Amino acid sequence: MSETMQVHPSSVPCAGGATVWLTGLPSAGKSTIAAGVADRLRTVRCGVEILDGDLIRTNLSKGLGYSREDRAVNIRRIGFVSGLLARNGVIVLVASIAPHADVREQVRADHDGHGVPYVEVHVSTPLEVASDRDVKGLYARQRAGEVSGLTGVDDEYEVPERPDLVLPTHEQTVAESVAALVDHLVERGITEQPHTGLRDAQRRPSGPSIDEHARTEHA
């Protein structure tokens, strides 16, 4: 073996994995929060990945439509990949609508069956707030009759009945949402507290709102 070869590219240790699934309406803030949490976690551990619903749609699930059956296949595929990564020590942050409760429960059951921690996070942004953000213009296109089957409008979104954590992004800043999720993961023993001023940021009233950051989000 070459003396210059690096056995591992990270300077921080790997630990046990988990799937953290952020579910909510389009433009709720899921991807924004996932990105913020990933940045924090990477300060204390290797093995952090984001599975974004839009990217999965254009790669792993390319060709699937938006019928209930196709949506279920898409979510099961994401669940399989996240579970596989989590079983190998990766914390996987999934930012995907996952509108149907029965499919979400199937994914949780699969994780439980393999002894893999699973955290369901409801990003509980109300429809009127999400439609006002309208990051990708989907709500406007639905109102114009250009698209149909938009989750939360003319296609059902089943609100989680017993999520592990609820993030009301319309009532708190990005920093507060990120801090709340990181703290939950710490309390669950999934990760250690990152070496940042998260709690200070959580208390800071002048921080940017989720609406200001949602402009870059792939919901």
- SS3 of 46-76: the string is CCEEEEEHHHHHHCCCCCCCCCHHHHHHHHH
Residue 143 confidence (pLDDT): 86
Please list the residues that pair with 118 across neighbouring strands: 19
CA dist., res. 18 & res. 108, Å (int):
11
Backbone angles phi, psi at 62, to 5 degrees: -60, 130
Q: How far apart are CA 61 and CA 69, in angstroms?
A: 13
Six-digit token pair at 1? 């073996």
Give the pTM: 0.82
Give the Cα-Cα-Cα angle 125, 55, 83 (nearest 5 degrees).
85
Low-confidence ranges of the chain (pLDDT < 50): 1-10, 198-210, 212-219
d(CA 63, CA 27): 23
3-state DSSP assignment of residue 92:
strand
- Per-position DSSP letters for 129-157, written without gaps between them: HHHHH-TTSHHHHHHTTS----BTTTB--
- Cα–Cα dist 86/111, whole Å: 9
d(CA 50, CA 189): 20
